[in-house]
Amino acid sequence: MQTVNWGRDLIQQLLLNVQGDSWWSQSIADCIALGPTTSSLHLAIFVEPYLSLLMAGAKTIESRFSRNYVAPFGLLKPGDIVLLKRAGADVVGIARVGQVKFLERSDPSWNRLRDVYQDQLCVTDNEFWDRVADSWFGSLIWFDHLKPIPSIECDKNDRRGWVVIKRASDQLALGFE
């Protein structure tokens, strides 16, 4: 029940923060409507410097790697909305997915991926690639709209780095009023 509470509180605050922006207000309303919707609402946790690089436009692709088939792998699509949360802190941005690629590792070290995308990912150091070397699944995410928002406190306290708050395919959804 705790997840429902932080999710509901987060959405209420988010709607207040984008109240003056009709495009974002409508996009969020579409995600959280009762019943089936066309877009999902996600929460992504970011560590620095990657969040700041993304918000500044230097990082043009977000990536998520994992050993197991976990979110966002296979659960994200163009048009979905992603709330951007700084690790251990607040939600500070919102973005819409423009494009997404799901990859299963075909070479031992993601070398081809590194060669093509390292500059857009802002990860040219070996440390990052060593950390993801034993991952089997990768998600590459391009955002086509990104907006900083006033900080929203989020009481999420589990270890997940990505949470699907509301799935587009939900038949019955919680009311967030």
Residue 8 dihedral angles phi and psi, to the nearest 5°: -65, -45
pLDDT digits over 12-41, tens only?
A: 999 999 999 999 999 999 999 887 889 999
Topology, domain 2-166: 2.30.130
Q: Pairing relation of β-strands 162-166 and 137-152? A: unpaired
pTM, full prediction: 0.91
Beta carbons of 159 and 136 less than 8 angstroms apart: no
The domains of the chain are located at 2-166
Coil, helix or strand at residue 84: strand
Instruction: Return d(Cα 110, Cα 174) in angstroms, integer.
Output: 39
Kindly report, residue by residue over 51-98, the tens digit of the pLDDT. 999 999 999 999 999 999 999 999 999 999 999 999 999 999 999 999
